[in-house]
């Protein structure tokens, strides 16, 4: 289990100490974690769905789903993989490079109790608890 302070520090450093929404310089103890795809609508606690936010931006955003949430989640997922914050199950480690090459082609993201499904033409990747747990290929990738 990753502790909240560890998550906050990583997100703070990833965002360069600035609010993701307005660019305001933040202090580590004063920032909030914003669920880019709102938690109230099923958004997860995964690294790719959390951004550093000043309290004002987080308050105004509320449960609004940003139009670019799919693109942002993919971008943040790729960063978290590069930073080794999202890891691969042992059975998928040999597929890491291939899976990373697929992620920019994701068309839909679906949150469920079994994890988050990143789906594109001919593939589906399942991530749960910051771990890539399944790759499904169907049709042509």
Q: What is the mean pLDDT of the chain?
A: 94
**Is position 99 within any domain?**
yes
- Is residue 108 included in any domain, yes or no? yes
Closest CA to 140 of 121, 118, 124, 119: 121
pLDDT band at 107 (very low <50, low <70, confident <90, very high): very high
Instruction: Give residue 74's region: left, alpha or beta (phi > 0; psi -120 to 50).
Output: alpha
Which pLDDT score is estimated for 140? Answer: 76
Q: Report the alpha-carbon distance of residue 44 to residue 27 in Å, rounded.
A: 24
CA pseudo-torsion sign 82, 83, 89, 93? positive
* C-alpha closest to that of 55 among 74, 31, 25: 31
Residue-range definition of the domain harbouring residue 115: 86-137
> How many distinct structural domains can be found in the chain?
1
pTM higher than the cut 0.85: yes
Domain membership of residue 118 (yes or no) is: yes
3-class DSSP assignment, residue 129: coil
Please report the pLDDT score of residue 30 as a whole number. Answer: 85
Contact 103, 65 (CB under 8 A): no
* 45-89 residue pLDDT tens: 999 999 999 999 999 989 999 999 999 999 999 999 999 999 999
Is the pLDDT at 12 greater than 90, yes or no?
yes
Average of per-residue pLDDT across 130-136 = 97
Is residue 110 one of the residues assigned to a domain? yes
Nearest to 11 by CA among 33, 44, 26: 33
- Does residue 18 lie within any of the structural domains? no
**91 pLDDT above the threshold of 70:** yes
pLDDT band at 2 (very low <50, low <70, confident <90, very high): low
**How many Å apart are CA 112 and CA 128, to the nearest integer?**
10
| Phi, psi (degrees; rounded to nearest 5) at 122 | 90, 5
Q: What is the CA radius of gyration of the chain?
A: 15
Q: Is the pLDDT confidence value at 33 over 90?
A: yes
């Amino acid at each position: 289990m990753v502790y909240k302070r560890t998550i906050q520090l990583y997100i703070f450093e990833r965002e360069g100490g600035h609010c993701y929404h307005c660019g305001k310089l933040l202090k580590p103890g004063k920032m909030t974690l914003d669920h880019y795809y709102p938690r109230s609508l099923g958004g997860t606690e995964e690294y790719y769905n959390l951004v550093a936010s000043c309290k004002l931006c987080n308050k105004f955003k509320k449960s609004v789903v940003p139009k670019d949430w799919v693109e942002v989640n993919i971008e943040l997922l790729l960063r978290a993989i590069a930073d080794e914050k999202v890891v691969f199950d042992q059975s998928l480690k040999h597929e890491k490079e291939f899976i990373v090459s697929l992620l920019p082609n994701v068309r839909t993201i679906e949150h469920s109790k079994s994890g988050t499904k990143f789906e594109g033409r001919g593939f589906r990747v399942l991530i749960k608890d910051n771990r890539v747990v399944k790759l499904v290929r169907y049709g042509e990738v």
